[in-house]
Structures are given as C-alpha cells and as structure tokens.
Chain A
Amino acid sequence: MSTINFAAREINFKLVYYGPGLSGKTTNLKQIHAHVPTESKGEMVSLQTEDERTLFFDFLPLDLGKVNGFKTRFHLYTVPGQVFYNASRRLILRGVDGVVFVADSAPNRLRANAESLRNLRENLAEHGLSLGDLPYVIQLNKRDLPDALPVDMVRAVLDPEGAAPVFESVAQQHVGVIEPLKAVSKLVLEKLAQRG
C-alpha cells in the first residue's frame, strides 16, 4: 500500500518484479540502475548466493522528485525466483503497490511461468490482496531466443482474459526494460487518483 510520511513529507510506492527463476528480474533492475540518471536513483542492493542467484531480494530506490510538495519515490524490489524461496517471496510482497511479472519466452519455461503466476496469486492472498485489484503488467523477456514462444501463446496461458498489458523485452540488451516499469508506475498512480 502506498505510504505517506507527513513528518518527512514523502510519498512512497513499492513495485515488485516477480517471475520464475532466471527469467530476468535482477537483470531488469541492473539495467534500470545503469540507465537512470544518478540524481534519480539510490544504491542498488542485491542479496545473492555465490552463483549470483537472488537469495532474498534486489532493491533499487528511484526518486521522482517533489510532487505537490511531497518527495515521491518508487522502491523497486525483485523476489527470488527459485521455487524453494517462497517464504522470502511472501515477505517481499508485504505492502506492494504494483507488480511487473517477468515471464521467460523459452518453450521449456512456460510451465514455470504459469506456476510462478499461481504462486504470486497465492502469496498476494496471504496479504489480503488479489491480482485483479493490483496494478500489474506482464513483461515477456528473452524475445531474442531463436525458439521464443509466440506472445499470444504465452498470454493465453498467463492472462487469457487479457487483463494485463504485455510488453516484450530483451532485458540483457536493455530493450523493453523501461516500458513495463513506466506502465506499472502509471497504473499505480491512476489507482491512487481513483481512490483519492
């Protein structure tokens, strides 16, 4: 839930990158960190295993500047994708305002994508949230794979109702990284405007 800190005159939003292991969540944050102007970003924190798999989370604060006299910030998190780190994923979702679901385009990861999305729904429910009520977008990553699945096929599995905007990306090359972030941020702001 968006939080307002009247004492420091700050408004903060929490965005979480979710998805199966090795789908490119950490790569997204690294690319954002590398391309956002220095004055608009804080330190990136990564809690990784020795083989550079996310153990707990990655964290990157983005500073939007002052809006109506309030310092406005987006805190970006990733979750660990590996199945056995579910307790960590559940913790990171606490207070989430928006989700970028990073799906893998490889044919042999379609099932992992679907399982991760199901896991996201379950973990949100633990916090009394539902994906239907939460701003979220799907980022279909690794579009440069020679055998990448067609977008429609992945969408039919992950979002048959077409409820979420879908973006294609090659995060390692910084292609299609900013669009989903910008889209989910705007959805979060729209939701705030609707609820007041």
Chain B
Amino acid sequence: MLEPSLDLYGEAAERVEAMLVDLLVQSRARYALLIDRQGFVILHRRAPWAPKPPSLDSLATLIASNHSANEAIAKLFGEASFRETVQQTDGVGTYIEAVGERALLVTVFDASAPLGKVKLFTKRALERIRAVLDETREAAPMADIGGSFSANAGALLDELFGDGKTP
C-alpha cells in the first residue's frame, strides 16, 4: 500500500511552497525543507543567493534520523520530545520543528541570519503550514500505481541490475 508522505497536493502544496519562500526571505536563511519522518523530502526551496545545497537525500535522512534519536532520548526522561532542535557550526546551522506526527520543517541558515530571526520566522511558517494542512481536505489525485506501476518498475530494476548475477 502506498501512503502519502503528507496530505499535501495541488494548490495546497503550492501555498506551502510559497510559505517556504517567505520563510527564506524573512529569515535570510539558505534553505527551507519540508521532509517526512522517514527522511524523504516533500518540498524544498533555496534562497536565490544561497550556494548549491549538499545532497538533499542525505540531509533529509540524517535530520529525520537525528530527530528520531532525539525523541528516543527525550522518552528516556519520560518526555515526548525536545521542544526545539538547533545545531550550529561556525558557518552553518539547522533549526527543526515538528509538523504534526509525520513531517519536519527544516531551516538551514548561515552566519548572516541571526538565530532568533530564524526561530521566529520558522515558527510563524510552521503555524501557517499547519493551518493549510488542517484546512486541506483535497482528495489525493488518481495515480496509476497498481499492477502497471509494479510491472514497469520491475522492468527498470531488470535494466539497472541485469540478470542480477554478479561476476
């Protein structure tokens, strides 16, 4: 069964993308990402002036895993989770907020963006994104993901791996 990463489609997704852009403009952060708890990127935006980001797959996986580990630490103390997650080097920082049970909002910033500003605008963006998710009741678009999807994906697996035999 295919589970949507988040109930975010069409116009609602476009609105959230615009909110990520606003977040970047207001906070002067480099990148804003909405990722799911498994570490898959749902949406992302990059400030026009920001350097090319590192691999977003790697970034999302590490952030989601780190967030899960932090939750496990909090649970050791009988708490649900840490209130906020901030990491900073001399050059770059990440600020992470949970978006409900299934997603995380990640803001990546550098020394030109004050942490207080990043926190403030990330929290504001979070409220707006939550509001969109709460009011969105769009049905998931129809997608051809049944037998035809599996057969076609299987053919690509054959192409990628050949007969599966290794020398």
Contact = CB atoms under 8 A, between A and B. Distances in A.
Which DSSP category, helix, strand, loop or mixed, fits chain B's interface?
A: mixed
Contacts of A65: 156
Contact of B3 (A2, A72, A181): A2
Interface string B135-157: 00000110111111111111011
Interface string B53-72: 00101100110010011001
A57 to B, nearest CB: 7
Interface string A39-78: 0101101000000000011010110110111101001000
Which DSSP category, helix, strand, loop or mixed, fits chain A's interface?
A: mixed
Contacts of A14: 38
B49 interface: no
B8 A6 contact: yes
A192 B68 contact: no
B2 A192 contact: yes
B104 interface: no
A186 B163 CA distance: 13
A189 to B, nearest CB: 4
Contact of B69 (A88, A181, A190): A88
Interface stretch (B40-48, B87-95, B113-121): B40-48
Contacts of B147: 193
Interface string A1-38: 11111111011101000000000000000000001110
B165 A91 contact: no
Contacts of B144: 68-69
Contacts of A35: 166
A56 B67 CA distance: 13
A143 to B, nearest CB: 12
B164 interface: yes
Given A56-B65, A75-B39, A196 B13 contact: no
B97 interface: no
Given A11-B145, A70-B145, A176-B166, A3 B57 contact: no
A196 B148 CA distance: 10
Nearest to A196: B146
Nearest to B39: A75
B132 to A, nearest CB: 12
A185 interface: yes
Given A64-B160, A186-B157, A195 B72 contact: no
A193 B151 contact: yes
A56 to B, nearest CB: 7
Contacts of B153: 64, 67, 72, 189
Contacts of B140: 6
A179 interface: yes
B125 to A, nearest CB: 16
B150 A2 contact: no
23 contacts: A1-B1, A12-B5, A35-B166, A43-B57, A45-B61, A45-B62, A59-B62, A61-B57, A61-B61, A64-B153, A65-B156, A69-B143, A70-B143, A75-B39, A91-B72, A94-B68, A176-B166, A178-B164, A181-B161, A185-B157, A189-B149, A195-B1, A196-B145
